[in-house]
């Protein structure tokens, strides 16, 4: 071997100094750091205060503090002759710094027979049912015509807790997650499985009761990272959801999902423990004559609020938000394609993925379920029916009969029940809790 070739051999065996590898190491770190940021940009933990009067400190939720609660418009359905309800709604909204726009309701007798979609039986339904259907269609029509991104639709006998914005902020966190399609594999070890206490007798039979979930997978709301990606409203991307069913008189637990992953957003329930806005289990009833409390009362610990997809049947359109996508779909389904029954029950079936029972081979309870309908809800509801003093509800409830007692179910610091004190300038300390945490007979 020549000296020249030997020198070359020795040079090849010599290790490169350590500082030669530093740029390569730095580039590798930058690459993986950028990759992490790409997948996690905007994702953060949001501290949920224990005090239910405290707001969440998150920039993306600040619009919920405005006069339309983070929606573009708030529409209230009101029959012209129910001036008593309009007065109460206007006063409650003013006290709560909420801006309303009234949609004039119609009676069934005023609708021309040619205006009804199929089937023909719609013309024979009770006038109140037909009028309610058309009034909701009028509100949805306004959302579509004005091309609103989101709108909130309220009935004129609705009530809310004085902490409504705090409740909506927490719901918005849940909505971000539940309407997303994020990979949630990392959350698998945090999932808790609880037996579902619903039975075929207590479940909402507006849809099949043969497929009740045996167990309910749940995650704490605090364990879900909040992402700011693609956020156009406080409640998440409105192109990913149809309805936020915020006010109801009963919701079934979600039915077994399409998605096999137990931590999929379409599968999971989010829980908020020790929520001071939630009454004790014995008070969780939509009506005083309801035989047993809601399934929530026996499935989860006391003072737990849950958020989930509304696939288990739902009743009463007390308050619901629609996206532009949702408004168009509902107006198409119930305004032109067909419906057959009370609007809220039909909407509950629609959210569960079933189509209206049109007779023959139509959908109804056994209709084919569709994946893309995204309806989200809270139990207990954030908005609820108010039953006024010396008044009688126009709506029959679960178990039959009409609510005559002066109260608002589900809401502790109800605005309507505290209206006199609020008008007089009474502060937080003077509020009356209509469902206090004390022992006593079941209401």
User: What integer pLDDT is reported at residue 341 of this predicted model?
Assistant: 87
Which conformational region is residue 425 in: left (phi greater than 0), alpha (psi within -120 to 50 degrees), or beta? left
DSSP bridge partners of 59: none
Query: ∠88-310-76 over CA atoms, to 5°?
Result: 20
* Cβ-contact 417, 434 below 8 angstroms: yes
Judged on CB neighbours under 10 Å (0-12, 13-18, 19+), 169 is: buried
Which conformational region is residue 109 in: left (phi greater than 0), alpha (psi within -120 to 50 degrees), or beta? alpha
Domain definitions of the chain by residue range: 59-430
Based on its alpha-carbon atoms, the radius of gyration of the chain, rounded to whole angstroms, reads 26
User: What integer pLDDT is reported at residue 43 of this predicted model?
Assistant: 57
Q: How far apart are CA 95 and CA 87, in angstroms?
A: 12
Q: Are strands 73-78 and 150-155 parallel, antiparallel or unpaired?
A: parallel
Q: Which of 224, 236, 218, 234 is nearest to 176 (CA)?
A: 236
User: What integer pLDDT is reported at residue 189 of this predicted model?
Assistant: 84
Q: How far apart are CA 129 and CA 248, in angstroms?
A: 17
* Cβ-contact 131, 155 below 8 angstroms: no
User: What integer pLDDT is reported at residue 22 of this predicted model?
Assistant: 61
- CB-facing half-sphere around the CA of 382: CA atoms within 13 A: 24
Q: How far apart are CA 422 and CA 415, in angstroms?
A: 8
Q: How far apart are CA 353 and CA 369, in angstroms?
A: 4
The series of mean pLDDT values per 10 residues for the chain, 443 residues long, is 46 50 61 46 72 92 96 97 95 97 94 89 88 96 98 97 98 94 77 92 85 91 74 89 96 78 79 96 87 92 96 94 97 92 93 75 42 90 89 45 77 96 87 84 47
Place of tokens 């938000």: 321
User: What integer pLDDT is reported at residue 34 of this predicted model?
Assistant: 46
User: What integer pLDDT is reported at residue 217 of this predicted model?
Assistant: 92
* Cβ-contact 255, 211 below 8 angstroms: yes
Which contacts (CB < 8 Å, 24+ apart) does range 115-118 have? 117/334, 117/335, 117/336, 117/337, 117/338, 117/339, 118/337, 118/338, 118/358
């Amino acid at each position: 071997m020549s000296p020249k070739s030997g020198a070359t051999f020795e040079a090849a065996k010599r290790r490169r100094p350590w500082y030669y590898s530093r740029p390569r190491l730095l580039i590798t770190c930058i690459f993986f750091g950028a990759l992490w940021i790409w997948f996690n940009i905007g994702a953060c933990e949001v501290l949920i205060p224990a005090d239910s009067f405290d707001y969440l400190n998150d920039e993306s939720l600040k619009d919920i503090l405005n006069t339309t609660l983070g929606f573009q418009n708030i529409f209230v359905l009101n029959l012209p002759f129910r001036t008593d309800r309009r007065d109460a709604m206007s006063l409650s909204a003013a006290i709560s710094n909420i801006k309303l726009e009234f949609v004039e309701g119609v009676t069934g007798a005023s609708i021309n027979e040619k205006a009804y979609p199929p089937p023909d039986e719609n013309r024979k339904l009770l006038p109140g049912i037909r009028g309610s259907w058309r009034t909701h269609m009028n509100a949805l029509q306004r959302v579509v015509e004005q091309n609103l991104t989101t709108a909130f639709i309220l009935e004129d006998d609705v009530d809310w807790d004085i902490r409504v914005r705090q409740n909506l902020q927490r719901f918005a966190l849940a909505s971000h997650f539940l309407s997303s399609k994020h990979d949630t594999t990392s959350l698998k070890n945090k999932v808790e499985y609880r037996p579902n206490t619903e039975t075929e007798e207590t479940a909402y039979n507006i849809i099949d009761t043969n497929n009740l979930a045996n167990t309910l997978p749940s995650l704490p709301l605090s364990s879900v990272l909040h992402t700011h990606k693609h956020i156009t409203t406080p409640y998440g991307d409105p192109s990913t959801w149809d309805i936020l069913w915020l006010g109801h008189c009963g919701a079934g637990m979600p039915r077994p999902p399409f998605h096999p992953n137990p931590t999929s957003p379409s599968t999971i329930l989010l829980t908020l423990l020790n929520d001071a806005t939630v009454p004790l289990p014995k008070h969780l009833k939509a009506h005083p004559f309801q035989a047993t409390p809601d399934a929530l009362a026996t499935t989860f610990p006391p003072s737990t609020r849950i958020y989930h997809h509304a696939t288990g049947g739902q009743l009463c359109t007390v308050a619901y938000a629609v996206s532009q996508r949702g408004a168009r779909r509902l107006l198409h389904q119930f305004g032109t394609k067909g419906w057959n029954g009370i609007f809220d029950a039909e909407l509950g079936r629609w959210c569960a993925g079933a189509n209206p029972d049109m007779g023959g081979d139509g959908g109804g309870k056994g209709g084919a379920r569709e994946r893309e309908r995204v309806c989200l809800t809270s139990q207990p509801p954030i908005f609820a029916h108010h039953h006024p003093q010396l008044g009688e509800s126009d709506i029959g409830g679960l178990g039959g009969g009409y609510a005559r007692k002066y109260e608002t179910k589900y809401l502790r610091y109800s605005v309507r029940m505290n209206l006199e004190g609020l008008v007089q300038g009474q502060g937080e300390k003077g509020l009356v809790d209509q469902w206090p945490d004390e022992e006593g007979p079941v209401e």
